[in-house]
Every structure is written in C-alpha cells, then in structure tokens.
C-alpha cells in the first residue's frame, strides 16, 4: 500500500474544521482557503465510495455499505502516493462482519478531537437550526446515526455516531491503530504545543515556528471573515458555521437544566477528560 | 421480443488470469466478474448474456438492480465504451448529461421528464466517442429513473406507480416523461452537481460555467470503474475522450444547499432547461 490514512476524528461540532484549517495552513504555508481544506474527503463521502468501488451506493443496504467501507478506504489509498488526512464523524464501531467501519490496514493513525459536550450542544443546535433541548437529547441518544433517513438520500453515507459518550469511547479506547486525543479547550489555551504534539502523534514532525504561523493564519477571526466574504461550502444551516470558537460558552448560553442533563448523561466520560470541576 | 440479458449459471469466484483484481471486480480483456456477496456473482463476456450465480436470498429484483448499474458499466469497459455515473435527458433532441458528487441527478432528470422531456439514462450513461452521443446501456433499456420518497413527494408522483429497486430499500424506479429515443442523442451540455454551496439562501441555486481546469477532473470522478479501465490499458484512450468531451460541450455547475430538494427542484429544472441555451 503506497499511502495510508490519518483520520481527523471527532463528534460533530468539536473543532475538526479548525484542526483541518491549521493543518492545511501548515502544509501550504498560506492562509487556509476554507473551501479547499485538507481532509475534506470525509470518510462517509458517497461519491468517493462509489468511484473507488464501482457501485451505486443508493442501491445498497446500509449493511452492505458498512461491509464495503473499509474496502473503499483500501482502494482509495492504493491510488495515493503519500498519506491522506481525512475527516471522519462516524463512531469507531464495528460493521456487520465485526470489522471496524474504517480499514485498520489502511490507517496510519487517528487524531481525535474532544470538546466539552455542553459547548458541543450549543454549536450543534445552531448548526442544525434546532433547539438546545434537541441537541442535548440527540447527544444522549444511544446508537444515534446521521444520513440514515429512509425517506431521502444524503450526500453522505449513513454514519453511526452513537451518543456523545459512546462516540468518544469508541475512539479513545480503540487499540488497533494509534490514536492521539486532543482536547479542543487545550487547542484554544495553548494551540502551538497542542497542535504540534497532535501532528507528531500522526507521524508529522513540524517546528513550533511553523505551527505558530499556521495557528495565526487560522485564527477564528480570519476563518469567520473568510466565511462572511466568500461563504463556506460545508455550512448547511444556522447563521454561520464559524460562530464563536470559545470554550465555556455553555455557562451563559445553556439553561441550567440542560447543562445538568448533559452532565448526568455523560458524567463518566466528562470526568475522564476533566470537564467536571 | 427483448434479448435475453442474463442466464443462471456457475460463475467463478475469481478469473484465472485477471489483469485487474479488486474486492468487487476481476477483469481481463475479454471477460469480467462482478461479485457482491449478498446478491451474487456476475460473469460478463462480450456478445453473450451475463451469467449470474445468485447468492442465497437474492431476488430477481436484486439481480436486475446490479445488472442495470455496475454490471452494465463493466460491460461498457470491456467494450471500450465510456460510461459516466450520472443521468441524461433528451430535451428536444439535445442531450443534457448530469453528473457530479452531490445527490440529485435522478431527481433532476425526473423533474425534466415531468416537464415533457425524454429520459435517456439514469445511473449509467454511455457516451460515444467522436461526436458525443448519450444512451443507456442495453441492460438498462428502457430507461427508468430511481427516486427516493422525498423526491417522489416533491415531484407529485404517485408512489404506487413505482417499481421496487432493491428488496428492503425505500427507493422506487419510474418510467416518466415522453417515450425514450431508441437511438443515442447528441450531447449538447453537461450539468455538474457539486457538494457544497456557498450561498446563504436555502431555496436558491447557483449556476455558473465550470472553469475549464475543473472539467477533466469532474469527468474523471464520474467515470465508472476507472481502475478497471486503467488496468485494461484504456486509460489513455479514455483520457483523450474526456478531454474531447470537455472541449466540445458546455459544462455548467448547478449548486444548492443540501436537504433542499423540495424547495429547489422546480428552480433546478428551469435552470437545467436554460443551460442548453447558454453560449460559451
């Protein structure tokens, strides 16, 4: 196999796009073009799946697609000369044959971004143009999936997210390839050492100076300005994709009862990553 | 009487001396095997009906579904033909081919068919060399369009007139519009549906000419079985074909928000009809 995949994994609205912006800027040495970020070939990309396997995914059952997704990863990397970084929002669950949804053979490593689920809920509600209560319920729903409607076809293949806790645990406790976990809050508080260590975790050695420059070029203000100026193709709903990019917004934006609900549902995982006191 | 398209028989798991081998396909210059464990194995030889060894539980509907799609495209590869993953419609004798990474090819073709035009193909579009003409592969004749329930509702089609496409799937196929032309139709324009829309309004569509530098890549991405073509040594010839198509035929990007089929489809249909009047 010529190249391999580095997965940029996260529950939705957890900072994945920012990570990709910093990575893109570091690779190119320029301001990241938000509409041409590295890693945009999302793992559940329907078109890519169909192209590399030669099938029509809309004529296949969810189970058939899940069996074939690791094979699509392998077919894709066989066409690449170097490593490919790809975004993924699936939980790292096993498919019908007991094999993980991504190819272990084609995977070099994964970077998993974790974010305080109370802030995720705020961002998710805005992104989906839904209520905060909807977002909290969704994040607590065991076995939840997206792009799984029986009435319409999505641009992406069905993805099993699980609840927020199930999603985190599916990745961080996986042992068949290296997984480097980074907290979104650490990316904000100390971006250069955090991103640099994460890139090293994926086998990419870069200087602190280069990472600092990439972080500067990928500041939230710059990404927002770019979205306001030219639009962002990954923005599907709500007022804008790049909202605040801060940690702890839940303290003022999430009603007390919903914050407690999140803490109750995800206590174990939140405590493990330092989100409770 | 329609020609026999497939017969039941034994199909090897693998070909003896394939020049291409992947998880789903083995191919040599004269024959190919397509296999999907839940449906069965398909042996394709030029000039002969496809031989099918069905998997336990697979129905005729399942077999037909693969025959009309990836298996017919594989036959095109062996025959040296150029097949795109997309759809095509005949608007007054002028062919409009629709492809791209976003969903919606079939819905758009169905909308155009309901406006009185003829479906050429849905799923596999065969495009002839030289002066480009579009047609459906013989396995997918007469052409039908496959739609999901939201599109059926948005188009006001009676869902009971549809045919099951695969056991257990909610999509249905429909014969819509005027009677299809039995001869290939000259391609006069291509519409590319990309993923990604930068506009703010969820109910509008963006229409713009496709930059020349993107055209080849968009066509390459839409090719059926590109790795089979490469291993059969047809990549160079097909690339020339693609560049010819990209140079001869106007290509237009039609972008909209995801999840907005019902609100944007009428506008998409209007824009698609207009595209044929564009002069580059």
Is the Cβ pair A75, B227 closer than 8 Å? yes
- With bands split at pLDDT 50, 70 and 90, how would you rate the model's confidence at A240? low
B132 shares a domain with B20? no
The reply to whether B280 falls in a domain is no
B71 shares a domain with B90? no
Q: Are A64 and B36 in contact (CB under 8 A)?
A: yes
Domain end position, chosen among B30, B59, B78: B78
B172 shares a domain with B207? yes
Structure tokens at A94: 């096993």
Average pLDDT rounded to a whole number, residues A98-106? 96
Which of A174, A145, A187, A164 minimizes the C-alpha distance to A268?
A: A164
Is A54 near chain B, with CB under 8 Å? yes
The reply to whether B203 falls in a domain is yes
Does residue A205 have a cis peptide bond before it, meaning omega lies within 30 degrees of 0?
no
Distance CA B127, CA B134 (A): 5
Q: Are B201 and B50 in contact (CB under 8 A)?
A: no
- With bands split at pLDDT 50, 70 and 90, how would you rate the model's confidence at A242? low
Q: Which of A35, A153, A230 sits opposite B148 (nearest CB)?
A: A153
Q: Are B78 and B48 in contact (CB under 8 A)?
A: no
Q: Are B264 and B257 in contact (CB under 8 A)?
A: yes
Structure tokens at A91: 């939980």
Average pLDDT rounded to a whole number, residues B24-52? 96
Distance CA B229, CA B222 (A): 13
Q: Are B146 and B122 in contact (CB under 8 A)?
A: yes
Average pLDDT rounded to a whole number, residues B64-92? 95
Structure tokens at A169: 């645990």
B36 shares a domain with B96? no
- With bands split at pLDDT 50, 70 and 90, how would you rate the model's confidence at A238? low
B131 shares a domain with B18? no
Residue B228 sits in a domain of what CATH number?
3.40.50
The reply to whether B99 falls in a domain is yes
Domain end position, chosen among B49, B78, B107: B78
**Other CB atoms within 10 A of residue A27 CB:** 15
Is pLDDT at A11 greater than 90 in this prediction?
Answer: yes
Domain end position, chosen among B51, B78, B105: B78
- Which chain B residues are closer than 8 Å to A151 by Cβ? 148-150, 170
Domain hosting residue B153, numbered range:
82-275
Instruction: Check residue A128 and give its pLDDT.
Output: 85
> pLDDT: is A269 or A232 the higher one?
A269
> pLDDT: is A243 or B250 the higher one?
B250
Task: Count Cβ atoms within 10 A of the Cβ of residue A91 and give its class: 0-12 exposed, 13-18 middle, 19 or more buried.
Answer: buried
Report the range of poorest mean pLDDT among A83-97, A141-155, B13-27, B195-209: B195-209
Q: Which of A54, A79, A153 sits opposite B225 (nearest CB)?
A: A54
The CA-based diameter of chain B, rounded to the nearest angstrom, is 56
B212-222 vs A46-53: helix crossing angle, rounded to 10: 60
- Which chain A residues are closer than 8 Å to B155 by Cβ? none
pLDDT in tens, B253-266: 888 766 666 778 88
Domains located in chain A, CATH noted: 5-272 (3.40.50.300)
The reply to whether B271 falls in a domain is yes
Report the range of poorest mean pLDDT among A110-124, A256-270, B188-202, B213-227: B188-202
Average pLDDT rounded to a whole number, residues B64-85? 95
Kindly report the average pLDDT of chain A as a whole number.
91
CA distance B278 to chain A (A): 25
Distance CA A23, CA A170 (A): 24
Is pLDDT at B279 greater than 60 in this prediction?
Answer: no
ipTM: 0.91
Is the Cβ pair B85, A56 closer than 8 Å? yes
Bridge-based pairing of strands B205-209 and B251-256 is: antiparallel
Instruction: Check residue B2 and give its pLDDT.
Output: 57
Is pLDDT at A185 greater than 80 in this prediction?
Answer: yes
Q: Which of B103, B123, B221 sits opposite A155 (nearest CB)?
A: B103
The reply to whether B152 falls in a domain is yes
B220 shares a domain with B264? yes
Is A71 near chain B, with CB under 8 Å? yes
B245 shares a domain with B166? yes
Distance CA A4, CA B18 (A): 26
- With bands split at pLDDT 50, 70 and 90, how would you rate the model's confidence at B198? low
Instruction: State the pTM of this model.
Output: 0.91
The reply to whether B183 falls in a domain is yes
Provide the number of structural domains found in chain B: 2
- With bands split at pLDDT 50, 70 and 90, how would you rate the model's confidence at B1? very low
Distance CA B85, CA B88 (A): 10
- With bands split at pLDDT 50, 70 and 90, how would you rate the model's confidence at B52? very high
Which of B223, B222, B215 minimizes the C-alpha distance to B251?
A: B215
B145 shares a domain with B48? no
B123 shares a domain with B58? no
B245 shares a domain with B153? yes
Q: Which of A74, A155, A233 sits opposite B198 (nearest CB)?
A: A233
B138 shares a domain with B25? no
The reply to whether B209 falls in a domain is yes
B230 shares a domain with B118? yes
- With bands split at pLDDT 50, 70 and 90, how would you rate the model's confidence at B280? very low
Is the Cβ pair B258, A154 closer than 8 Å? yes
pLDDT in tens, A55-65: 999 999 999 99
């Amino acid at each position: 196999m010529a190249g391999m995949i580095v997965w940029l994994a996260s529950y939705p609205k957890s900072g994945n796009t920012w990570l990709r912006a910093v990575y893109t800027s570091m690779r190119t040495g320029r301001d990241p073009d938000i509409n041409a970020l590295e890693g945009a070939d999302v793992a559940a990309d329907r078109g890519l799946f169909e192209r590399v396997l030669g099938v029509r995914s809309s004529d296949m059952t969810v189970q058939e697609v899940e069996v074939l997704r690791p094979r699509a990863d392998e077919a894709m990397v066989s066409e690449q000369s170097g490593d490919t970084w790809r975004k993924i929002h699936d939980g790292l669950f096993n498919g019908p044959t007991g094999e993980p949804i991504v190819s272990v053979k084609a995977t070099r490593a994964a970077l998993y971004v974790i974010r305080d689920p109370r802030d995720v809920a705020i961002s998710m509600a805005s992104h989906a143009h839904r209520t905060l209560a909807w977002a909290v319920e969704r994040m607590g729903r065991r076995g939840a999936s997206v792009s799984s409607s029986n009435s319409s076809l999505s641009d992406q293949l069905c993805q099993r997210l699980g609840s927020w806790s199930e999603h985190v645990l599916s990745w961080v406790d996986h042992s068949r390839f290296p997984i480097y976990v980074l907290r979104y809050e650490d990316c904000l508080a100390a971006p250069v050492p955090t991103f640099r260590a994460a890139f090293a975790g994926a086998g990419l050695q870069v200087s602190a100076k280069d990472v600092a420059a990439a972080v500067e070029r990928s500041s939230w203000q710059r990404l927002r300005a770019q979205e306001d100026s030219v639009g962002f193709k990954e923005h599907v709903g709500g007022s804008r994709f790049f909202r605040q990019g801060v940690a702890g917004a839940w303290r003022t934006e999430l009603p007390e009862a919903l914050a407690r609900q999140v803490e109750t549902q995800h206590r174990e995982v939140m405590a493990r990553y330092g989100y409770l006191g | 009487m329609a020609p026999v398209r497939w017969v039941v028989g034994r199909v090897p798991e693998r070909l003896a001396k394939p020049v291409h081998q992947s998880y789903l396909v083995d191919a040599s210059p004269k024959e190919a095997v397509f296999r999907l464990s839940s449906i069965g194995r398909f042996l394709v030889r030029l000039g002969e009906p496809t031989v099918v060894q069905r998997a336990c539980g697979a129905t005729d509907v399942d077999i037909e579904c693969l025959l009309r799609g990836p298996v017919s495209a594989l036959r095109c590869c062996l025959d040296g033909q150029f097949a795109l993953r997309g759809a095509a419609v005949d608007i007054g004798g002028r062919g409009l081919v629709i492809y791209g990474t976003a969903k919606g090819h079939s819905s758009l073709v169905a909308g155009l068919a309901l406006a009185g035009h003829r479906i050429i193909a849905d799923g596999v579009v065969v495009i002839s060399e030289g002066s480009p003409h579009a047609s459906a592969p013989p396995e997918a004749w007469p052409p039908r369009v496959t739609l999901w329930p939201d599109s059926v509702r948005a188009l006001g089609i009676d869902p009971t007139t549809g045919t099951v496409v695969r056991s257990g799937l909610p999509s249905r196929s429909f014969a819509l519009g005027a009677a299809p032309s039995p001869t290939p139709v000259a391609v006069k324009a291509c519409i590319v549906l990309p993923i990604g829309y930068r506009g703010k309004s969820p109910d509008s569509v963006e229409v713009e000419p496709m930059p020349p530098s993107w055209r080849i890549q968009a066509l390459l991405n839409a090719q059926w079985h590109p790795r089979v073509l490469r291993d059969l040594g047809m990549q160079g010839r097909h690339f020339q074909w693609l560049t010819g198509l990209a140079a001869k035929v106007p290509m237009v990007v039609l972008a909209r928000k995801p999840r907005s089929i019902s609100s944007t489809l009428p506008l998409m249909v209007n824009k698609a009809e207009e595209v044929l009047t564009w002069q580059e």
